[in-house]
């Protein structure tokens, strides 16, 4: 078996990378940079301890990413990824989309949160004081458009 075949055999059945690993790696690098900055900023004992902690966090995140990449337990890694996607990545993407929509429509519309259920409600701008009925829960409230 040559080196290439050995390498292929080693990687066969292993999980590999996903976007959760990319995030773990990014935070690992960020923690490492922070550790260097804190260490260089002052020579106090407290700075050294904080720097050490940041360095350990960086190493831990790096190790976790590598562990996930080389793991053979695909079911567990996919479950982790699915949790990350639905609990972290998707809500962040949704908030960004909503913020962009608000920016794009800010000249013509105003956005309010329903006091009853928290649903965002969009109304046309410049109609004075108006009565808004929440489309989700039916609560009626007044706002200045």
User: What burial class does residue 117 get, using C-beta atoms within 10 Å of its C-beta: 0-12 exposed, 13-18 middle, 19+ buried?
Assistant: exposed
Determine if 22 is a binding residue for Zn ion (CB under 5 A): no
| H or E, element range at 109 | strand 109-113
| H or E, element range at 144 | strand 140-144
Q: State the minimum distance, in angstroms, from the CB of residue 118 to Zn ion.
A: 7
Among 37, 88, 117, 140, binds Zn ion (CB under 5 A): 117
Determine if 123 is a binding residue for Zn ion (CB under 5 A): no
Determine if 113 is a binding residue for Zn ion (CB under 5 A): no
Q: What is the Cα–Cα distance from 21 to 70, expressed in whole angstroms?
A: 11
Among 73, 86, 119, 120, binds Zn ion (CB under 5 A): 119
Compare residues 63 and 115 and give the one whose CB is closer to Zn ion.
Answer: 115
Collapsing DSSP to helix, strand or coil, 47 comes out as: helix
Among 16, 60, 91, 116, binds Zn ion (CB under 5 A): 116
Determine if 54 is a binding residue for Zn ion (CB under 5 A): no
Determine if 136 is a binding residue for Zn ion (CB under 5 A): yes
HSE-up (13 A, CA, CB side) for residue 38? 17
Q: State the minimum distance, in angstroms, from the CB of residue 18 to Zn ion.
A: 37
- Residue 128 neighbours by CB under 8 Å, 6+ apart: 144, 145
Determine if 137 is a binding residue for Zn ion (CB under 5 A): yes
Q: Which residues bind Zn ion (CB under 5 A)?
A: 114, 116-117, 119, 134, 136-137, 139
């Amino acid at each position: 078996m040559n080196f290439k075949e050995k390498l292929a055999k080693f990687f066969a059945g292993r999980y590999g990378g996903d976007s959760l690993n990319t995030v773990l790696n990014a935070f690992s690098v960020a923690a490492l940079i922070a550790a260097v900055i804190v260490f260089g900023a002052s020579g106090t004992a407290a700075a050294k301890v904080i720097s050490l902690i940041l360095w350990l966090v960086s190493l831990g995140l790096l190790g976790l990413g590598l562990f996930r990449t080389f793991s053979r337990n695909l079911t567990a890694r996919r479950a982790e990824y699915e949790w990350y996607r639905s609990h972290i990545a998707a809500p962040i993407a949704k908030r960004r989309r909503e913020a962009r929509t608000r920016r794009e429509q800010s000249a013509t519309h105003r956005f309010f949160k329903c006091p009853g259920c928290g649903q965002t409600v969009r109304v046309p701008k410049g109609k004075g004081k108006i009565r808004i009925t929440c489309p989700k829960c039916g609560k009626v409230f007044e706002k200045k458009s």
